[in-house]
Amino acid sequence: MDKANAKGETVNELLKAEAHVWNHIFSFINSMSLKCAVDLGIPDFIHNHGKPMTVSELVAALPTLNPTKARNIYRLMRILLHSGFFEQQKLSQEDGYVLTDASRLLLKDTPFGITPLLKVMLDPILTKPWDFLGPCCWNLRLQNRASEPINTMWDSSITHTWLQNNDSTPFDTAHGKPLWDYACHVPKLCHLFNEGMASDARLIINVLIDKCKGSFEGLDSLVDVGGGTGTVGKAIAHAFPHLNCTVLDLPHVVAGLKDSGNLKYVGGNMFEDVPVADAVLIKSILHDWNDDECMKILKRCKEAISKQDKGVVIKKNVMIVDMVVMEKKKVNDGSFNLMETQLFFDMLMMVLQTGRERREEEWAKLFFAAGFSNYNITPILGLRSLIELFP
């Protein structure tokens, strides 16, 4: 029998608790290992091989791999196998790796690939703010003199991190300005964001058009608010040729993008004005902003669908694609906990933006305060839902 300590905990219970803590301490290794595999192009090599690929075949296929590091590829694949990104099939002499549904989403040329989202979220610009979450840290600097080796020194000053200062976000603390202001002056980050959001949009809009066609019926015009470079707008315009689609985003985002057929681009500010239309679509936008900021956006959207002057409109609505947090429900899809991922996103919004992921009652409070009389939630988009608002 395990001995108990003063609090009645057995050694076995303490060891399990230790393993739980360790698992969370080192959970970043999962994402960094996945990023390494994607940067090496491993999913594409396995896909192009056309049959189960052994580790020796994989090593031979990696053009930039230093021969002295070859034995480490097995170790990388082992953790990704455990994480469900690859599977093994028995061959005559050794097992071969094949893709899973998850790793197929990381192929370069797949229509619904989300590699760009992986690259932007794990870019050092976006991971650095987590170091400033709190509560405080000493400044570490290197002292380098020609006559001495480099010595690690602790600076006497303390960096007061986000929980101790008045900055709006940890990103602001880390980089000196809010995310969108920073991105305007860093083309690399702006490009990564646009590519990441576009990759996410392809899958979601495909499902939305397929399963929610009724939401677009009876509409003559639609505005995609914060629509980036137009991935969603293009898909809707193509699926519904009768529908005039407008993509609204900041002027520098839509600069140089050309109107085509029933799709046009408008540079503007969603806090100030939204073009008049029968319906407004807001995908993955409101979770970026706090309640007061969301109220401003929602009121501009309500004004846009209330200014029609062409007679009877079959329906006017605002369509929101965002998360509805299932905080009091255990939402599992097999072994995958959707709830945990929603909470990850909530923390991400806290670190990068002023926003949050909201429960249904929090959404409802916003909707009614903005002047909408009713709403409907359709949970068909995995982590996210389609929320329809009616004035």
Which residues carry out catalysis?
287
The one-letter code for the residue type at 337 is N
CA-CA distance, 295 to 370, in Å (whole number)? 6
CA-CA distance, 32 to 184, in Å (whole number)? 27
Q: Is the bond leading into 178 cis (omega within 30 degrees of zero)?
A: no
- What is residue 263's three-state secondary structure? strand
Nearest CA among 302, 344, 308 for reference residue 323: 344
Cβ contact 135:170 at 8 Å:
no
Residue 319 has phi, psi (to 5 degrees) of: -105, 120
Gyration radius of the chain over CA positions: 25
Rounded to the nearest 10°, the torsion over CA 200, 206, 211, 213 is 120
The DSSP line for 279-317 is EEEEES-GGGS-HHHHHHHHHHHHHHHH---SS--S--E
- What is residue 330's three-state secondary structure? coil
- Cα 247 to the center of its chain, rounded Å: 20
Contacts 24+ apart (CB under 8 A), 48-55: 51/96, 52/88, 52/89, 52/91, 52/95, 52/96, 52/97, 52/98, 53/96, 53/97, 53/98, 54/91, 54/94, 54/95, 54/96, 54/97, 55/94, 55/97
**Beta carbons within 10 angstroms of residue 68's beta carbon:** 7
Please, which residues have CB within 8 angstroms of residue 160's CB and are 6 or more apart in sequence? 136
**Beta carbons within 10 angstroms of residue 15's beta carbon:** 11
